[in-house]
Amino acid sequence: MRTLSKIFLATAALATISACSSEMSEEEQAIYDKRVAEEQSKPTNLTAVVQDQEELTTASTMVGLSGIAEELKDDGPFTAFTATNDAFNKMDADELSSLMSADNKAELAKIAKYGLAEGTMSSADLAKAITDGGGAANITTLQGGVIKASMDGDKIVLEDGAGNKAMVIKADIPSSNGVLHIIDTVLMPG
């Protein structure tokens, strides 16, 4: 009989604890609601994720001027290799200024699409493709060109058609329609 009483008391205690834990105080509810609102306010598509990165404002402007932002907003999935502001600042100032003109919309679109590939390729997917390819993998871009991927130690290195090499410095930033990899050099079609 004592065992039955202990089981009954233990069951009642567990039911009470479960009931209490499922109810939140007003303060806890406010914290929870704030976290949900923050998550919902975060950018979701690839264009918005790029725009949300402070170190990608030049690339974001380029994508906007090129006119491909709307085109890419809901399509996909894509893998984006996007250069930092510092990478653009390494370019000749006159060349960059000329390039970032609305008059060069077609050239901007060509460069922007050169940094994009169809499908979602995480850094692990890229590393596997490089290993499977005997040390190199070719990535076909939306522009129609090819980026050659290889490894330097544990870092992914991308080479464009002009022979410029870029290192992935921040990988696997997710979006609703793809993944973003931030690189340290602007990739240009050959």
CATH number at residue 103: 2.30.180.10
Q: Give the tokens for residue 135.
A: 């040390």
Q: Are residues 36 and 48 in the same domain?
A: no
Q: Is residue 190 part of a domain?
A: no
Q: What is the pLDDT of residues 152-176, one digit of tens each?
A: 999 999 999 889 999 999 999 999 9
Q: What is the mean pLDDT of residues 88-111?
A: 87
**What residue numbers bound the domain in which 56 lies?**
43-183
Residue 147 falls inside a structural domain: yes
Tell me whether residue 163 is in a domain.
Answer: yes
Average pLDDT value for residue range 87-111: 87
For residue 171, what pLDDT is reported? 96
Per-residue pLDDT, 145: 94
Contact 162, 188 (CB under 8 A): yes
Please tell me whether residue 141 adopts helix, strand or coil conformation. Answer: coil
Run of H or E including 69: helix 68-73
Residues 22 and 107 in one domain: no
Q: What is the mean pLDDT of the chain?
A: 83
Tens digit of pLDDT for each residue in 38-54? 555 555 888 888 889 99
Residues 48 and 126 in one domain: yes
The C-alpha angle with vertex 137 and arms to 187 and 109, in degrees rounded to 5, equals 30
Do both 23 and 75 map to the same domain?
A: no
| Tens-digit pLDDT profile for residues 23-38 | 778 887 777 767 666 5
- Asked whether residue 28 falls in the same domain as residue 65, the answer is no
**Do both 89 and 33 map to the same domain?**
no
189 has pLDDT over 70 = yes
Question: Are 58 and 145 in a shared domain?
Answer: yes
The helix/strand/coil state of 30 is: helix
Asked whether residue 189 is domain-assigned, the answer is no
Q: Is the pLDDT of residue 87 over 90?
A: yes
Q: Are residues 115 and 137 located together in one domain of the fold?
A: yes
Domains of the chain: total: 2
Q: What is the pLDDT of residue 38?
A: 59
Average pLDDT over residues 74-89: 91
Residue 182 has pLDDT above 50, yes or no: yes
Same domain, 84 and 153: yes
The pLDDT of residue 20 = 45
Q: Summarize pLDDT for 132-143 with one digit per residue, the tens.
A: 999 999 999 999
Is the same domain home to 34 and 109? no
